[in-house]
Amino acid sequence: MNAIDLRKVTGTARLQALRIVLIGPPGAGKGTQASVLRERYGLAHISTGDMLREEVRRETALGLQARSLMAAGQLVPDTLILDMMSQRLQQPDVARGFLLDGFPRSRAQGQALVATLGQLKQPLHAVIQLDLEDEEIVRRLSLRRSCPSCGRVYHLQTNPPTLHGLCDSDGAALQHREDDNEQTIRTRLSVFHQQTRPVIEFFRSLGLLRTLDASLPIEHVQHLVERHLRAAMVRNSPLSTSRRFAVTRYRSLGKVSR
Ligand SMILES: [Zn+2]
């Protein structure tokens, strides 16, 4: 193996599957970053809500179990969600990796997720936290307007419609969602912080957490996310270990000069 072959080995690190958790309050631009990552890396976007609905619709064994619990007014337990996720992670569309959004929501879920991924030999590369001050979230969300007909979302300050109050795509009158008023936003935020703080601490303790300032322009945040992911992939790659081994070995044989 010569130096050129070694470059090939490190090059393949970019082709390995990428596994990420995205955490952030409403209004921090999570949806935007998620769709960029999905496209760029071909990741499967896994939302536990969608996954649950799909299992129930297909009437799988786990789906039926969940349905009977929900019909009885009970919460679907973490173990059931994790079982669904284990199956989901073995589907062909997850070959290039996944992006988890809205899960885990508690420390227990976080621990269970890490254990499940460990069993599947698919450890996480990174947990990206999009951080934004509450005041800024309130400002962003209270100026948000959405189209009741096509679902397109506008922002009166940063992304206004061409014609005041009307959707650019279909001309429908834009609406201010009931849950986008200030009091509701503040309540949602306090629930969000309470729930996610322990999850964030847990991932920090594992050295997986990267907190990014979501008040920066979208492209800038995107750049930071990518830079971090590239670093995390090389660091966590089993190939980086074999490369180090190869370099050491060939250096000792006098075939690699530095
Ligand atoms: Zn519309």
Domain assignments of the chain as residue spans, ordered by start: 3-133+194-252
What is the edge-to-edge ordering of all strands in the sheet holding 209-213? Answer: 44-47, 97-101, 18-23, 126-131, 209-213
Under the banding of pLDDT at 50, 70 and 90, the label for residue 16 is confident
In sequence order, which residues have a C-beta less than 8 Å from that of residue 96 and are 6 or more positions away? 17, 18, 41, 42, 43, 44
Q: Has residue 1 got a pLDDT over 70?
A: no
CA 163 to centroid of ligand 1, rounded, Å = 12
Pairing of strands 97-101, 44-47: parallel
Between CA 218 and CA 44 the distance in angstroms is: 22
**pLDDT level of residue 157 (50, 70, 90 thresholds):** confident
How far is ligand 1, taken at its centre, from the CA of residue 173, in Å? Answer: 8
Which pLDDT value is given to residue 17?
Answer: 87
| Percent of the chain clearing pLDDT 90 (strictly above) | 46
Mean pLDDT within 174-200: 88
- Taking CA atoms, 4 is separated from 9, 248, 249, 255, 256, in Å, by 9, 15, 15, 12, 11
First-last CA distance in the chain: 15
The CATH number of the structural domain formed by 3-133+194-252 is 3.40.50.300
Evaluate if residue 110 carries a pLDDT over 90. Answer: yes
Distance 146 CA to ligand 1 centre (A): 8
Listed residue (28, 1, 6) closest to 192, CA to CA: 28
Residue 140 CA to ligand 1 centre (angstroms): 20
Do 188 and 2 form a contact (C-beta atoms < 8 A)? no
Q: Mean pLDDT across the chain, nearest whole number?
A: 84
How remote is the CA of residue 33 from the centroid of ligand 1, in Å?
Answer: 22
Beta-carbon neighbour count of residue 144 at 10 Å? 20
Nearest of 123, 142, 84 to residue 238 by alpha carbon: 123
Q: 159 C-alpha vs ligand 1 centroid, how far in Å?
A: 14
49 vs 224, higher pLDDT = 224
Mean pLDDT along residues 133-144? 89
Residue 181 Cα to ligand 1 midpoint, Å, equals 21
User: In the chain, what percentage of residues exceed pLDDT 70?
Assistant: 85
CA dist 95 → 24, 92, 177 (Å): 25, 6, 37
DSSP string, 114-171: HHHHHHTT----EEEEEE--HHHHHHHHHTEEE-TTT--EEETTTB--SSTTB-TTT-
H or E stretch covering 235: helix 218-236
**Cβ neighbours for 45, distance < 8 A, ≥ 6 positions apart:** 34, 38, 98, 99, 101
The average pLDDT across 45-63 equals: 90
Mean pLDDT of 52-64: 93
Q: Which region among 148-162, 211-225, 238-252 has the lowest average model confidence (pLDDT)?
A: 238-252
Q: Is the pLDDT of residue 4 over 70?
A: no
Contacts of 103 (CB under 8 A, 6+ apart): 21, 46, 47, 48, 81, 109, 113
pLDDT of residue 115: 93
- The mean pLDDT of 163-189, rounded to a whole number, is 89
**In this structure, are residues 240 and 10 in contact, taking their beta carbons and an 8 Å threshold?**
yes
Show which residues are catalytic.
Answer: 30, 105, 144, 177, 188
